[in-house]
Amino acid sequence: MDSHGQNEQRVEWAVVDSGIGPLLLATTGQGLVSVVFHATDEVRDRALERLGSRFGTEPVEVPRSPLLAEAIRQVAAYFAGERHDFELPLDWSLISGFNREVLRELASGVPYGAVVGYGDLARRVGQPGAAQAVGMAMGANPLPVVVPCHRVVERDGGIGGFGGGVETKRKLLALEGVLPEPLF
């Protein structure tokens, strides 16, 4: 344990290219813990600082570590259209309570190529009036793409918001065949 009573854990990371720009992937001994969109140097450095603070250790760039290498392989296969489901251990320690419950339901209950409304997802976790809270949970998702918050849309058919930007959400939904590919 460190001086704050937290268990120190090794955090390993890599930045990979994807169909939506560079992604930062980070793992702990428990599993994939973080996926960060638009991982330019500045965004990457801020994300690594947050992870280091949270876990009490300096994150280490180790793209060839077994778990991180497998996450990289599966993400590449997803963006190549060769993988529809991720089979990775996930470290849920960056999220808790209602948000974790909603994201777990999303990960297990909304398959590739499908979408769900915010209110529908709220009902699935036994909180039928919590559509806005579901939206907040999507915004707090530490594992986007792998835990597919891009599959949550507005009841009236609108695309809804997205932490990685609406254009990124459109690209992910087009990749999964939910939306047509943009013409230009």
**pLDDT averaged over 10-residue windows placed end to end, the chain, 184 residues:** 56 96 97 97 98 96 95 98 97 97 97 96 96 95 97 88 92 92 59
- Residue 161 and residue 182: Cα distance in Å, rounded? 18
H helix or E strand, kind and range, residue 13: strand 12-16
- Token reading at 163: 């932490």
Active-site position among 88, 110, 122, 149:
149
Cβ atoms 116, 110 nearer than 8 A: yes
Query: So what's the pLDDT on residue 5?
Result: 43
Cβ pair 38, 93 in contact under 8 A: no
CA end-to-end span of the chain, whole Å? 53
Q: Among candidates 82, 112, 86, 116, which has minimal Cα distance to 102?
A: 116
Residue 1: the pLDDT is: 44
pLDDT reported for residue 8 = 61
Model confidence, pTM: 0.91
* Predicted pLDDT at 182: 63
**Confidence at residue 49, expressed as pLDDT on a 0 to 100 scale:** 98
In what order do the strands lie in the sheet containing 32-36?
32-36, 23-27, 12-16, 60-61
Q: Which residues contact 57 (CB under 8 A, 6 or more apart)?
A: 8, 9, 10, 11
**Cα–Cα distance measured from residue 179 to residue 153, given in angstroms and rounded to the nearest whole number:** 12
Q: Is 76 a catalytic residue?
A: no
Both tokens of 155, joined, read 């009841």
The whole-number pLDDT of residue 29 equals 94
Please enumerate in sequence order all residues whose Cβ is within 8 A of that of 154, keeping only pairs 6 or more positions apart, or say none. 117, 118, 160
